Structure 1
């Protein structure tokens, strides 16, 4: 007990000294002293703002973290990332920033927060909880940390809980990379005794995240839970609905504050995406040799369009090269149209047929019955009790970490 008291005093002194040196730049509320576990929450669209109170237990994430704090007040501290939480101004409560810009803002604030916590409290483990747009920001953070490219090392992360993650992998298990696992891996450096009693048994969801940016978690595999309600369009979109995902990616980059502005913004984003898709198809899927042209796609048209619509990728700088390649293609076809045009027509027709197949769910009424109450499913994680296992997990992590000291 005496050793623990000394350790607590040293941790508290370290935190106070760090806060004093940081001065007004210290934006993460820490104290008194450093906890065993610090949980950072990132709310969903419309549930935060740049000036939001970092200690206010509101929104979906607040419904999870408030009980955690109540159950282990001496072991856990928490705060929330304040960011635009916007969807182009179209969602009440959210800022005017396009969704893609808002996610980048959340990620930037998250990186800064965990860096500050890690520096101010060297013995504290960090956990993350994100919902919807916030889950997408934390998902990218966890992927980078797991790959060794994040702002802190994977040994500082106790666990990551994602709810309604738009980047969820198609038919992904609760623990990505660990099909069938229901109990989280222990926090690094702990026995995992308390965590071993936690089971995350939320029913599996079909489909995948509407953002289609599924990723792996490297060294964090087993400590990242991706929880989704079947029929929640954000994380359980139909498999064969590429155009739906493309539309979501385009809308995520647009200014949607009013109909006139939205129309112009959507047109500009769509034009850019189609230009990028054309560039990648011309440079990667057409093969030109002496007197011959073939369309041999390395990716389907749906995948090319999804890739081009993703705000995280751009090939605009290669369009000049693609124009030169296109001129070469058309010149080769013009020199021998009788032989080449029928062959290319057949190849392109097969690609079009694949595009139709990749969107077959859009024309299936049975599929859309799953989404009749998608808003209720997206917002019902607390009411349905699906946050309970996350609450138990965070509390168990705190006890394991405290017990390991």
Structure 2
């Protein structure tokens, strides 16, 4: 029976969907002052922290990093380390993301109590500036993983990110997978402890890459999971809007699902859009939140001028550090795109220049000979590097990517195409894979038996909510029953599986099972299509994981989807 989504949630989703900004649209929007609605800052409440100890380790923990504004804040229950240090994360029972709950909560009903948990990473999740927010997300994610791994060395991890959080997830996965570890020690944790990474809207995706980089069949499935994502070898065109963040996952190759929808310009940007790429790189360093809220003011104008000045200065220094730049094919626009990337670092030694007065050198004299050819190459290169710039700019990239009801940035919850050989949405497939990984962790890895119980504890920081949000503790079974009767943002659809489940944000962790209200509405909310397909992800996962572990041939579950009517204005 189909369950209706409340009018309040639908209205909330309409407000929020239009305000979510993904990195692919940042620069162009910042420079052209595209009008976006401003998401309200999450509300906070006065808090009083109390320790609530948990004596068990999990077989698997999913680390979830959501998008803009969709993150735990003060007022949510936060984890604390065994030494009492507050950790920047909340259990999925204490914070709910309408976007990726469906993925990270799917394994809950398919493994034993206390075997699996999902936590959401707290990070700025804003555009002030984008690069600073993502770097903070990377640091917080690695801090949480280190702390859990130190207390529970046998716990396995998955990492899940969407939108701005997808950039965080990619960078963390690359850093984990490419650690040196020659002496058997790792700065973050052993890459073998990470069993899966899900990146929804991968802004660092390589040109024409398949959804499972490094796997035996990068277009079909990650290694070790035999359910096919799609038939054939079809890949999404283009590449991620942040090519400077791309690269190998090292030891995690084959364990990564990098999803990208055709038309989502955050991950399927065409080639030869150099001016837009320059705008994107600049936008990553701007205070887009202020620009969005206040428009072009003296403060935001100064912010823009400072960034542009830094880029121009870096470009001239880079050119000056090259002895034969005038003879090269590199154009000035190429240099601007290169040095505007926040990750760009100029060799300090190469940047040293001789400022003493003197006659023109022989090399400088030779460069003058190449000036006419260089000017010609600049013109030709500018045209070639921007063959698709006008086409993209005229296609309304914001509406194409982030438009309410139509934006391809939200396709991952509605991109199933059974007739085309893709029976599950990307979110459903990710949920099925995580369920399989959680079941494998439960079967194959004995939970760490700590010699000293205190070394195997993660505490939960309990916050004192407002009177309206306080709920008395209940038993695990009562909590499950209560949440199952009132799932968050889900509706029921039919499936061929005999045991449908929901993806509610429940957990069987040993922490006190207090139901905690989320302190604020997140600034992102799942599209209606999420609600229509949420149950099918877990339903598909259950037979998938069991069958896949026994035989390489798997019967693909048939999912019946429900068409979502377009949202009213």
Deviation of 1:297 (Å): 2.9
Aligned partners of 2:131 and 2:285 also within 8 Å:
yes
Aligned partners of 1:83 and 1:102 also within 8 Å:
yes
- The answer to which of 206-215 and 52-61 deviates more is 52-61
SS of equivalent to 2:117 = strand
- Tell me which residue corresponds to 1:331: 360
1:369-384 residue pairs with structure 2 within 5 A? 373-375=400-402, 376-384=407-415
- The answer to which of 364-373 and 297-306 deviates more is 364-373
Question: Could you report, residue by residue, the CA deviation over 1:213-260 in whole angstroms, capped at 9, with x for unpaired residues?
Answer: 211111111001110001111111121112212211111111231321
Q: Any gaps of 5 or more consecutive residues in structure 1? A: 1-23, 89-97, 187-194, 288-293
Residue 156 of structure 2 corresponds to residue 156 of structure 1: no
Aligned partners of 1:57 and 1:65 also within 8 Å:
no
- Tell me which residue corresponds to 2:544: none
Aligned partners of 1:276 and 1:314 also within 8 Å:
no
**Superposition TM-score, scaled by structure 2 size:** 0.56
Structure with greater helix share of residues: 1
Q: Distance in 2 between matches of 1:335 and 1:32?
A: 71
Q: Distance in 2 between matches of 1:72 and 1:119?
A: 23
- Tell me which residue corresponds to 1:14: none
Q: Any gaps of 5 or more consecutive residues in structure 2? A: 1-48, 78-89, 181-186, 416-424, 446-569
Deviation of 1:381 (Å): 1.7
- Tell me which residue corresponds to 1:63: 102
Q: Distance in 2 between matches of 1:316 and 1:387?
A: 42
- Tell me which residue corresponds to 1:270: 308
Deviation of 1:368 (Å): 3.4
Deviation of 1:63 (Å): 2.9
Aligned partners of 2:326 and 2:370 also within 8 Å:
no
Residue 121 of structure 2 corresponds to residue 81 of structure 1: yes
Deviation of 1:318 (Å): 6.2
- Tell me which residue corresponds to 2:157: 126
Question: Could you report, residue by residue, the CA deviation over 1:278-305 in whole angstroms, capped at 9, with x for unpaired residues?
Answer: 2112212x42xxxxxx613375544422
Residue 346 of structure 2 corresponds to residue 315 of structure 1: yes
- Tell me which residue corresponds to 2:63: 40
SS of equivalent to 1:127 = strand
SS of equivalent to 1:58 = coil
Deviation of 1:400 (Å): 1.4
- Tell me which residue corresponds to 1:246: 278
1:119-268 residue pairs with structure 2 within 5 A? 119-149=150-180, 151-178=188-215, 180-186=218-224, 195-196=225-226, 198-201=227-230, 204-213=235-244, 214-256=246-288, 257=290, 258=294, 259-260=296-297, 261-268=299-306
Question: Structure 1 residues 245 and 50, CA, compared in 2 at 3 Å: closer, same or farther?
Answer: farther
Question: Structure 1 residues 247 and 49, CA, compared in 2 at 3 Å: closer, same or farther?
Answer: farther
Deviation of 1:270 (Å): 1.4
1:49-60 residue pairs with structure 2 within 5 A? 49-51=72-74, 54=90, 55=92, 56-60=95-99
Aligned partners of 1:200 and 1:390 also within 8 Å:
no
Deviation of 1:199 (Å): 2.5
- Tell me which residue corresponds to 2:377: 350
Q: Distance in 2 between matches of 1:365 and 1:154?
A: 39
Deviation of 1:147 (Å): 1.2
Q: CA RMSD in A?
A: 3.1
Q: Distance in 1 between matches of 2:397 and 2:206?
A: 18
Q: Distance in 1 between matches of 2:55 and 2:411?
A: 34
- Tell me which residue corresponds to 1:10: none
Residue 130 of structure 2 corresponds to residue 99 of structure 1: yes
Aligned partners of 1:147 and 1:217 also within 8 Å:
yes
- Tell me which residue corresponds to 2:111: 72
Residue 147 of structure 2 corresponds to residue 108 of structure 1: no
SS of equivalent to 1:226 = strand
Work out the number of aligned pairs and report it.
Answer: 351
Q: Distance in 2 between matches of 1:86 and 1:226?
A: 22
Question: Structure 1 residues 162 and 334, CA, compared in 2 at 3 Å: closer, same or farther?
Answer: closer
